[in-house]
Every structure is written in structure tokens, then in C-alpha cells.
Structure 1
């Protein structure tokens, strides 16, 4: 693992880590500025879960008989320098495949490479098309090595970075050096992101928005405005002034025993037509039948907070943790049915056994539902990812471990194992073992 300079804007750090770029170089202003660049990646994840004890199942249940699925995505990163401080990037992508049980059955879903839309036939889409401008706040500069979504050159160490267009909220917010990249580290949704961060996203995880980041010394502050779907878990096809997310994050970087660390505090608020779980349950009791959120939606706010920590122990070992909670009285809008979540883990680089580009990671996460959500799902309610037709509640507990082997300059192979107790918070079902093999290429 390479140590990242503190002063690199978060968007560029994530582009280097999340998208497989080379990162930024030492503070050397001699790198010639690129005017354009093309990069690419290919990732295939084959994932299987075993059969498990499942006395019953519903519309959104993980298949108790076991299932094997695969996903493949091929991405092109095309960048153009519009001005000395401004870049344009587009990322056309071809996708194919399905998540396990068509991407339902666990709140902490086991593959970050699986979208909520699956297809047997490859299809083309455009997940990212954005402009990024960096405005200097001082004279000191640092060098940037070129990579996916980063043009080589230099920029001011202290700066304001503005990004607008189509991209993922988690490109900028809730980043973590050790757990944020389903193409290179962990796979589980509630490990790579804060589980209760119900961020704006279409069914593929992207949105339209504007984000600004202030970076000075050891501190950063960032804020954003993003489009929500017009209805929960829907597609974002047009501007809807009544459905939006506000998000802000504060970051403090520090040194502990000469090793870098970061702590971040994030808050978000979603405004849209959304349902209260209790209203749906009351209506079902009055009229009979199964509670239905669509019948009781009205204009409302839903908010939450997340705490995010990363700490290097030495150059090759790091720890991470996230804790998050949201308003559990209202339905999950975009991400998944998690009202509180706690995750922690460690990543070790392979230099200790003579393979410095390899890494091994282990993580544990516990996800929980609010009292109101439990009442809704126990009456047979259906959500974004869960809904077994009944519920014997227990916290969803997941352990994940992976080994990523660097095969050559462009290719890596990973093996991943997860074990989930109480999938979809249901003590009547599971536990379930989930196995994955991931092949990732960069070019």
C-alpha cells in the first residue's frame, strides 16, 4: 500500500484508489500536464452462496437452495483538459450479469459489483460524465501522476475543488483507503460504504449533482447537492426539484506514532415523497392485506450521520471502522434497508510474505433495523432489498475476508469469503456462506 499525501483532494484520491489509477506522485512539479488521456478496466465477479436453512421465503428473499451468478463490466475512462485547472471526464461502460437472487435477500448485499438492474445480454450505459475544476488557495503545488479520471500534471496543495455532472456520491463522500473499492478490496455493500448512508443513486449507484471541497493543510470540508429518484429505488431520468439530497462531510487528517490517519463526520438529508413505516402498517390493519409503502408516501425529510475512521499501523497494515445511523421511521429511499450499522476491519499488504502488491483483508459488520421497520417487515412488507414475507428479527451480522493476488502489471485475481448470520435480519433463515472469485484488469 502506498502512502497518500494528505493534501490530495478526495476526488483524486478516490479516482486513484476506487478506479485503479496510479495515485499521485511525490511533490515534484516537473510532470508535464496531460491534455487528454484514455484508460480502461475490466472486472468479472463470479459469486456463489450455499444452500441454507430457509423454512419459508418471500418476494425479496435470498434463494435458500443456493445460487451462482456472475457480473462483468468493461469501462473506458476518457479525459480532456479544458483549461489549466479544469478536466472533463466521461466513463462509458458495458455491463452484464446479475447479483445473487437478482440483487435482493440481504440488507448488506454481498457484491458491490452487482447493480439492482441485471441483464444476460451486455448493454451500454454512461455512469459518469463530469467536469472537475481545482482553484488554488496558495502557491505550494504537488504533482499528480496520470490515471483513470486523473490527468497528469500539478495542482495547488491547498485548494477548492468543484465537481459537477453525473457521478457517484461515494466518489467524493465516505471514502476510505482500506474499504471502498469492490474492484480491489472488500465486496459487501455495508463494508465498502457506511450502511446507513442512504445516498442519492439510480439503480446503478449514480446521480446528477454538484459537490465542492475545501482542502487546507490537514483539514477538508465538502458539501454537495444531488438528485434523488422521483420514487424510491427508481431511475433518475429528469430533474425533480422535490426530490434531492443535501450532504456534508468534515475530515481531519493526523499523525499517530508517525503513521497517517483520518477521521470523517458525514451528515445527509433526503427530501422527497416517502412513506413512514407506521403509516403503512396502520393502513393495512384498517383495510386488511399486506402493508404497502406506495400507498402512504408524502413529502418528507429523512436524515442520517456517519463516522468514518482509517488508521495506518505501519506502511503495510491499516485499520478502518465506520458507524452510521439514520431516521428509521421512514422507508429506505435509494441504498438499502439499514437504519444503523457498525463495521470494522483490517488490511495487510503482501510485503511480509514477499508479494508487496498483494493484500489480505478481514472485516465484520452488524446491521440493524429500527422498531418501526421491524413492524413493517414482520407484517410481510417489501423493501428495496429485503422482504421474506415475515420476520423473526435479529441483527444482520456479516464477516468477510479476501485475498487479492497481483498477477502482473495489469491483472489481479481475488478470492472472497463471506458468512452472514440472519440474512435480511431474519433469525429463521441462514446462516449462509458466500464465495466469490474476482478478476480485475486495468489498461
Structure 2
């Protein structure tokens, strides 16, 4: 399928599904829950073919199409001296289309198996180069193409050991079987999944298929969590719930090379460890949560200072002469990480806050500091990050299922990282050939309109200042449209 036909394919699929459900019997499609959304499982339940209160299996799906456009922006230089990672200053269009199926099966008491095959087609801005911590579309993958690609995003086992306390109902949903769980329990999850399925969750900035589009709000931009080029890994995590507290630990496989697809399964030699403590609370009778997150990665990666020192000691150790894993730079006067990659440690610590203010209105804040000594291995080009914003439900203007979101994010890089880029070096996403350093900032504003049960259209605007931390380039405006369907 050509990239020209893909937008029509996704819009056509969405339109066909929307028309089908619009013309179906309205009474049959009315779910028992009060969320007002259609689901295949609820349709079965309405015909007494499925118990959505105590499930032995379930199946869900989603389809999302995101189109982004940026007009031309000012830039004093682009890809200077053969350093190839600038955001192009001319007008560009980008799109992603994804389709995901979610299957859950209760294998035994407390044991659940989940599988999620997924498809993506994408066309990024500037070959996904030139933005640090604020990539405009969270769906973009480092290994994607305009041709539709199917892969297994998740295939894992979750085992729950109930240990007492208050018993509460667990609702049916994607990657979640309905049933009951104790407020005190141990949950072990192992297999192929995303670290973000377990760690650094947030009610107002995490489900970006329904919320903000910019990747700065998916998690902390400086959280270099272990993941392949699609954002997934293989590993093991444990969660201990004790009433309002949760303690999480996890170890996951890292890629064989930075920002690459194959994973290295030597998990006692190279690994990504994370620990999180969460406390849920009520403030003025409104729910909220505080989470503290720390990570420690051991990976074969390069340090900024060592790459600079290697080039200064021997100018032949430049970017253009690399023969091992590198980013296709032809800049013979720049340092490169390929000369100094070895086993190194990378650490970071962050905070994640969420608080409902009144019904339908909530705020969030995330912040993280990573050590900034080594290259970005799996996530975005950021060493420190801060994001905050608000999500407002549409009740105030009579549109219960609509939402308005406004958020700001700022990312920084370390002094060593900035000097490496100033000298013409590149990392996984950025490198203009020179650098007049400033923090990269983004404002993301969206309005989500529910068209029909389980069908939404979102309009999004982003203003990005100092793309790739470079005051010589930008600012950049990005306009986006998202169509999202769940079933």
C-alpha cells in the first residue's frame, strides 16, 4: 500500500465503522456503564453473551490517525557541515496511522495473559530529526515507514496474589479483565510490554490517543526508559499495593544499539532498572496521586566528554570516519559517540503529580533530572524535563464527553551534551552542526470532540521554541488533527 493511499484508507475505515455504529440499533449500543462509549464486549453483555463484571476473556481494539503540518520557520543554518539531524525549515506534512487489537484471557486463579498485535504506518517530519524532548506526535517510531507494518506490541503474563484489605471491583478494558481485587495485593508482570504500561502513569497526561499529542506529555521527556525503537521491551515487574500505597520494581531489556530495534537479552549485563513509589490521596475531597520514580540503566553507550576528548586527541576519530553503529553524519570536523561506546551507567529521578480540582477538571505536573553524562539510548533527547498542564471536561459547556487540554513542557540538556552538539556531533534525534543553547519549550493545546459513541476528533496546536535546544532556529508551529476510534 502506498503512502498516498494510507490516509484515505484510515479515514475510510473510520468512516465505515462510524456509519455502521450510527445506523445500528441505538438501544443495543447503549452500554451498561455510564461512560457513554460503545464497546464490543458491552454489546455481547447486552445480549447476555458476556459477563463484564467477572471476565474470563475480553477483546478490544482501537484505530488512530494523526495528521500534522508545520509551515516554514526561520533558521540561520540547517545540517551545517554535513551534520544531518536538523528539522527542515520548509513546510512539511506528517502522519501516523495505528490499529491495535487487545486480547485478555484468564488462565487460572489470579493469572491473566494479554496479547496486543499492532499496525503502524507513518511519515515523520524531517525523518524524525531535529526535535529534542518535544516530538510533535507521540505515535512516531524510530523504525516506522509509510508501508503498513504489523508487529506484536505486547504479549505478557500478569499474576495477582490478593492479600486482604478492602475488596473492590476492577472494570473491563483493554489489557484489563473485569473482576475483583484486594486493596492489598502483589502483582507480578512478565513478558513483552511497555514500561509505561506499569510505571509513570498519569490520569491527565499518559493516554495520548485521547489526550495531548506531543511526546513531552507521554512521560517525563528525560526518562530514558529501556525500550526498542517502537517503545517496547521484555522484562519483569513487581507491584505491591498496600491500601493507598504502591511500590513498583522492574528490570527490562535494552536495545543492542541506541535507538535501535533488536533487544539485548543479556539482562544481567545490560538492563534498565526502575523503582516507583506511589501514594493516592484525597485533597479537599478530590482524588490525587504523588509518584516518585527512579531509574538506572547499564548499557553500551558513549559519554559526551569522552567523545569530545577522543576527537581532540586524534582528529581521525570524527563522525565521518565511523564504521560501527552511528547516525550517518558526514561531518569530518565533529566528534562522534561511535568511538567511545562501552558499558556505562545512566541514572535519573523524577516526580509525577496529578490532582482533580473539581469534577471534570484536573491538573498534572512531571519533572525529572537525569545525570546527562551519556547519550540518549531509548527515548527523547533530554537530560532534564518539566511538564505541567490541565485537562478540562466539557460539562461546563454542555459537552460531557468533550475535553480541552492546555499544557507546557520544557527540556534541558547537560553542559557536556550541549558542547558535543555545538562541535557538530549528533545523537539519536538532534544535531544541527552548531548550537546556541537554549532550553527547548512547547505549548500544546487541544480540543477533543466526541462525534459518536467511541469516535472522537481532536484539533491540536503546538508552539515549539528552540527546536533541538538551538536559539538559531525556530520557533516552530505545528497544527494537528487526530481521528480516534475504540471498539
Asked if Structure 1 and Structure 2 have the same fold, meaning a TM-score greater than 0.5 normalized by the shorter chain, the answer is yes
Alpha-carbon deviations, 1:279-321, whole Å to 9, x = none? 1111122222311101101111110001110010011111100
- SS of the residue corresponding to residue 162 of structure 1 reads strand
Instruction: Tell me if 1:89 matches 2:133.
Output: no
Instruction: Tell me if 1:55 matches 2:76.
Output: yes
Partner of 2:409: 365
Change beyond 3 A, Cα 1:21–1:266: farther
Q: Could you list the runs of 5+ residues in structure 2 that have no partner in the other structure?
A: 1-34, 42-50, 316-332
Instruction: Tell me if 1:335 matches 2:362.
Output: no
- Runs of 4 or more above 3 Å deviation: none
Counterpart mapping for 1:28-177 below 5 A: 32-58=53-79, 59-107=84-132, 108-138=134-164, 140-177=166-203
Partner of 1:217: 243
Partner of 2:436: 392
Instruction: Tell me if 1:236 matches 2:280.
Output: no
- SS of the residue corresponding to residue 421 of structure 2 reads helix
Change beyond 3 A, Cα 1:131–1:274: same
Number of matched residues? Answer: 419
Partner of 2:231: 205
Alpha-carbon deviations, 1:23-50, whole Å to 9, x = none? xxxxxxx964222111110000001111
**TM-superposed deviation, 1:396:** 0.4
**TM-superposed deviation, 1:84:** 2.4
Partner of 1:11: none
Provide the C-alpha distance between the structure 1 equivalents of 2:399 and 2:200, rounded to a whole number of angstroms: 29
TM-score (norm. length: structure 1): 0.92
- Aligned counterpart in structure 1 of residue 290 of structure 2, from 263, 266, 272: 263
Alpha-carbon deviations, 1:69-125, whole Å to 9, x = none? 111011111111101211111101111112222222111211111111221211110
Partner of 2:349: 305
- Aligned counterpart in structure 1 of residue 471 of structure 2, from 421, 427, 435: 427
**TM-superposed deviation, 1:436:** 0.6
Alpha-carbon deviations, 1:184-208, whole Å to 9, x = none? 1011112221111100011110000
Alpha-carbon deviations, 1:297-349, whole Å to 9, x = none? 11111100011100100111111001101011111111121111111101100
Larger radius of gyration: 2
CA RMSD of aligned residues (A): 1.7
Partner of 1:414: 458
Provide the C-alpha distance between the structure 2 equivalents of 1:88 and 1:274, rounded to a whole number of angstroms: 34
TM-score (norm. length: structure 2): 0.84
- SS of the residue corresponding to residue 407 of structure 1 reads strand
**TM-superposed deviation, 1:139:** 5.4
